[in-house]
Amino acid sequence: MARAYNFSAGPAVLPLEVLQDAQKELVDYKGTGMSVMEMSHRGKDYDAIHQEAVATFKELCGLGDDWSVVFIQGGASMQFAMIPMNFLGAGQTADYVNSGTWGNKALKEAKKVAALRGATVNVAADCQKDIPTRQPTEFNWTKGAAYAHICTNETISGAEMKTIPEVEAPLIGDMSSDILSCERDYSRFSMFYAGAQKNLGPSGMAVVAIRNDFAEKGPESLPTMLQYRTYTKENSLYNTPPTWGIYIFGETMKWVKKMGKENLFRLNAEKAKKLYDAIDSSDFWTPTALKEFRSNMNITWRIKGGDEELEKKFIAEAKEAGMSSLKGHRSVGGLRASIYNAFPMAGVDALVAFMKDFEKKNG
Ligand SMILES: Cc1ncc(COP(=O)(O)O)c(C=O)c1O
């Protein structure tokens, strides 16, 4: 079996064990005579899968009964729209941190809703264009804001919030690319969410954790599928949910539990350190993110400050050597290695060895 070292930012590498177990259960899930993909979402077999997936995630994040975990299609991008639709009323203000491409996308959707409703969006901090890339540390919060929105890890720039800011308003976090990758106090949030396709499972849905009382704040005049309470009250079963994605999500959460969170978080830090040490070891490489904000999930860098020809060569030769998707996002270029929870240490070692060799030949 040939598995590539897959550095894709998402959809991204999943735990091999999870894929192999899913393969075994693909056509006959635990003697039911059918695939999870084929079973009714209202039956007891699927119900057990769904309940366990939610319970394991809640346990991993330390969430109590006052929280719901729901699955919403449309990815994290749909959340960018649903959040202001539910929580930004006429005359209210929402605070947004513009930390990069994703923070900005969330902000843009909020501005659209604000314009329709007669509400205001305040940019509480803006470092989207800063080079080296970073996350803000100073914020201009609005007193009495309806909510504050942050993106804890900017997947494209490779800048991660190392501490969650203090804020009075209900805090909402886009954690698409660093959820369950490091120690976080999730109780600081009123809601946090992630597109599943990085640390959680296959693409096609967002996993949304939301306090039940917060979910109730949305206007009931919104279309049913756009209200959070529809998902919290019906346990994501108002309509047919993405059952296969939820099954793989549940298996991935069981894998995280089995690995042990502390162990996994330590491994993540070690993997990232190895790569950053390699980047810092020579002027041949130029790191993209400011040291204090370097992401442990998405490592971004350039060759000689931005030698595009050499970068192309690096990406092509790495691919030949079994390391795929090292190209930076199309909007910024350069190199990016996404090393999510399921990415193996051996893949990082292979990349570091390849970098040393490449520098020797091209430096
Ligand atoms: C931080 C962050 N937020 C949001 C998104 C958008 O996610 P989706 O493609 O699931 O809409 C991404 C996608 O990469 C992301 O990295």
* pLDDT tens for each residue of 247-268: 999 999 999 999 999 999 999 9
Contacts 24+ apart (CB under 8 A), 266-274: 267/345, 268/181, 268/182, 268/296, 268/297, 268/339, 268/341, 269/182, 269/296, 270/345, 271/296, 271/339, 271/343, 271/345, 271/348, 272/296, 272/297, 272/299, 272/339, 274/348, 274/349, 274/352
Catalytic residue status for 198: yes
pLDDT for res 71: 98
pLDDT at residue 157 above 80?
yes
Catalytic annotation, pick one of 58, 67, 95, 102: 102
Q: What's the mean pLDDT in 86-96?
A: 98
Residue 77 Cα to ligand 1 middle (Å): 6
Q: Is 109 in the pocket of ligand 1 (CB under 6 A)?
A: no
pLDDT in tens, 166-210: 999 999 999 999 999 999 999 999 999 999 999 999 999 999 999
Q: Tokens 């900005």 sit at which residue?
A: 104
Which of 67, 174, 254, 285 is flagged as catalytic?
Answer: 174
Residues whose CB is less than 8 angstroms from the CB of residue 248 and which lie 6 or more positions away in sequence, other chains included:
14, 18, 22, 201, 202
* Mean pLDDT calculated for residue range 346-361: 98
Cα angle at 47 between 41 and 53, to 5 degrees?
110
- Per cent of the chain over pLDDT 70 is 100
- Ligand 1 center to residue 362 CA distance, Å? 35
Active site residue: 198, 254, 261, 271, which one? Answer: 198
pLDDT at 282: 96
Please name the residue whose Cα sits nearest to atom 9 of ligand 1: 75
* N- to C-terminal Cα separation, the chain: 34
Spacing, Cα 289 to ligand 1 middle (Å)? 19
- Segment 43-72 mean pLDDT: 98
Q: Inform me whether the pLDDT recorded for 304 exceeds 90.
A: yes
Clarify whether 174 is annotated catalytic: yes
- The answer to whether the CB of 175 falls within 8 A of the CB of 194 is yes
> pLDDT at position 50, please?
98
- Is residue 177 lining ligand 1, measured as CB closer than 6 Å? yes
Structure confidence by residue, pLDDT tens digits, 305-335: 999 999 999 999 999 999 999 999 998 999 9
Is residue 339 within 8 Å of residue 7, measured between CB atoms?
Answer: yes
pLDDT at 147: 98
Q: What are phi and psi of 308, to 5 degrees?
A: -65, -35
List Cβ<8 Å contacts ≥24 apart for 44-48. Answer: 46/243
Q: Do domains 17-258 and 260-362 have the same CATH topology?
A: no
How far does the centroid of ligand 1 lie from the alpha carbon of residue 290, in Å? 22
Domain 17-258 sits in CATH at 3.40.640.10
Instruction: Determine if ligand 1 sits within 6 Å of the CB of residue 176.
Output: yes
Ligand 1 pocket, residue 76 CB under 6 Å? yes
Contact 289, 157 (CB under 8 A): yes
- Asked if residue 80 has its Cβ within 6 Å of ligand 1, the reply is no
Domain ranges, ordered by start, for the chain: 17-258, 260-362
> Is the sign of the CA dihedral 167, 64, 246, 9 positive or negative?
positive
Q: Is the distance from CB of 21 to CB of 251 less than 8 angstroms?
A: yes
Nearest-angstrom CA–CA distance, 152 and 198: 14
Ligand 1 atom closest to 80 (CA): 4
Residue range 260-362 forms a domain whose CATH class is alpha beta
pLDDT for residue 279: 98
Give the whole-number percent of the chain exceeding pLDDT 90. Answer: 98
Residue 151 CA: nearest ligand 1 atom is 1
Is 221's pLDDT higher than 80? yes
pLDDT of residue 94: 98
Answer yes or no: 21 catalytic. no
Segment 55-66 shows an average pLDDT of 98
Q: Which residue's CA is the nearest one to ligand 1's atom 7?
A: 76
CB 14 within 8 A of CB 6: no
The predicted structure's pLDDT at residue 2: 85
The Cα 214–Cα 245 span in angstroms is 26
